[in-house]
Structure 1
Amino acid sequence: MTGTLVNVATVIAGSILGLIFKQRLPRRVVTVVFHGIGLFTMGLGVSMFLESQWIITVVLSLLFGGITGGLLRLEERVENMSENIKSRFRFTDERFTEGLITSFLLFCMGSLTLLGAINEGMGQGPELLITKSVLDGFSSMALAAAMGVGVLFSVIPLLVYQGGITLLSMWLGDFFAQSVVNELTATGGVLLIGLGINILNLGKLKITDLLPSLLFVVLFAWMQYRQIFPFSLF
């Protein structure tokens, strides 16, 4: 868990610096930064999606994930939770929820996150996650300057998600074959593309409702890897 704890610390530090800069930057500069983040998010999403070798697993995962998330009303529940946090801490940031979700997805959907967490869990050291921590520290500065304090609170799902993968890989390391990681990365890339669309105000997609796709893609990709049910036949 060393790598994840270092990652959390750098995001906290970067977010605090970003919030300080936000108070001193003109509104037009913050808007330009916001647009840059949106374009970067879409570009990153496309590059991640191209890692897919079994596109049908991504499609099926988004389908089943969307149905599950819609039935559970995840988007609505997360928004309500965020509003409760805002009320409890008396925040006035209108982009609180967007900042939290955007930061979590950007920090956690990349292959570096997955490979780093798996490597540390399998006893190969936290070097990848420490490298990622440096990148996330600078990213959190820009995100916090554009989106506010919600970025700081993204460390909570970051700790749960990334730390959870590390702990799971301690017992189930063989489950996370490279092909499974590729499909998980590709599915995360699709979510980032949708997130970029939201950031740029090109639409309003319920990305949170699609988060269960990340669970389904691990199952489907593992089944494909083990040839339990070869999705490539369809």
Structure 2
Amino acid sequence: MRWVSFRFVGVLLALSGFAQLALGTGCIVAGLWWAWFKSGTSFLETAVNFLVGLGSLVIGRILGRLVGVQRLSNRLGASARRWFESVPQDTVRRRSVGFKTAIIVFCVSPIAVFGPVAEGACEWKLPMIFKSIMDGFAALGFGVTYGWVIALACFALFPWQGTIALLSYELALLLESAAVIQVLNVTCGLLLCFSGVVVLGIRRVELANYLPALVIAPLARLLLG
């Protein structure tokens, strides 16, 4: 009975309607603000970079659908859901399943990719703060079922996100282009906005399919000069 009550509390915390509303609204507002106000120093420059960012997202979505980025993300998510719904009774196996489930949830989400890019290249920490909050709620739910092994999954998350952030930072230094950073600001800002739409359940967005835009946007801006 005690186990059931703890699990019930964890689920309530993870699915808190107020937290979902605040998080989703925060993502939308912060994403739109960053995408517009950090995209240039003049109106013309802002408009050009915003259009390049939007175009990159459109092309990225087409490329992502062709490659099947969202399909892969969905398959991994479905595997994590099956593991979570069928918890093994054996302690060792339960911890192994819990570790794999948490790794997928923490590392495969689109914000786990564009968040470190935003922090490394654009010096924008807010997407990672939002992701930390999301991971915190997920960890509450997983921790009740799988125990302390979820903490190990959190530690395994640091090398993944740190590597992406470090590579993004080094590439930004190598390119030495303010215009490229501004276009990435647009791309990452709009991706965070889309994440808010998903969190609020306003519309189902194939967010992972937009991730190729993180490569297309800087390349397009470099070609434009």
- TM-score interval (norm. to shorter): 0.5 to 0.7
Aligned with 2:55: secondary structure? helix
Contact 2:61 2:209 in 1 (8 A): yes
Letter in structure 2 aligned against 1:27: L
Deviation, structure 1 residue 23 = 8.1
Query: In the aligned structure 2, how far is the partner of 1:144 from the partner of 1:23?
Result: 18
Q: Once the 2 structures are TM-superposed, how far is the Cα of residue 145 of structure 1 from its aligned partner? A: 3.4
- For structure 1, which runs of at least 5 residues remain unmatched after alignment? 1-20, 117-127, 227-234
Q: CA deviation at 1:174?
A: 4.5
Query: Structure 2: which amino acid aligns with 1:35?
Result: L
CA distance in 2, matches of 1:22, 1:43: 33
Deviation by residue 1:142-173 (Cα, 9 ceiling, x = unmatched): 3233334699365454133212223445xxx3
Q: Deviations over 1:78-121 (max 9, x none)?
A: 23234556749424979x648852651573253x43145xxxxx
Partner of 2:109: 101
Task: Say if 2:172 is the partner of 1:177.
Answer: no
Q: Quick one: distance in 2 between partners of 1:48 and 1:24? A: 35
Alignment root-mean-square deviation, CA: 3.8
Instruction: Tell me which protein shows more helix as a share of its residues.
Output: 2
8 Å contact 2:116–2:162 — kept in the other structure? no
Query: What residue identity is the alignment partner of 1:161?
Result: I
Q: Following TM superposition, by how much is the alpha carbon of 1:57 offset from its aligned partner in structure 2, in angstroms? A: 0.9
* Greater mean deviation of Cα atoms: 64-73 or 75-84: 75-84
CA-to-partner distance for each residue in 1:47-100, whole Å, 9 max, x for gaps? Answer: 121033222211221121111100001011123234556749424979x64885
Q: What is aligned with 1:164?
A: 167
Distance 1:114 1:107, change over 3 A: same
Following superposition, the deviation at residue 34 of structure 1 comes to: 2.3
Which letter maps to 1:36? A
- Distance across 2 between alignment mates of 1:174 and 1:99: 27
Task: Give 1:113's aligned amino acid.
Answer: G
In 2, Cα distance between the equivalents of 1:23 and 1:176? 51
Cα distance in 1 for partners of 2:109, 2:158 equals 11
Match of 2:222? Answer: 222
- The amino acid across from 1:70 in the alignment is R
The 1-side partners of 2:60 and 2:159 are apart by 22
Query: How far apart, in 2, do the equivalents of 1:102 and 1:47 lie?
Result: 20
* C-alpha spacing 1:174/1:166, structure 2 compared with 1 (3 Å): closer
Larger Rg: 2
Equivalent residue for 1:35?
Answer: 21
> In structure 1, the residue corresponding to 2:202 is in which secondary structure?
coil
1:90 counterpart = 2:97: yes
> Who is 1:73 aligned against?
68
Q: Does 1:198 align with 2:198?
A: yes
Query: Residues 26 and 115 (structure 1 numbering): CA distance in 2 closer, same or farther, change over 3 Å?
Result: closer
> Could you tell me the TM-score, scaled by structure 2's length?
0.65
CA distance in 2, matches of 1:48, 1:65: 20
Match of 2:207 in 1: 207
TM-score normalised by structure 1 residue count:
0.63
Q: Secondary structure at the match of 2:61?
A: helix
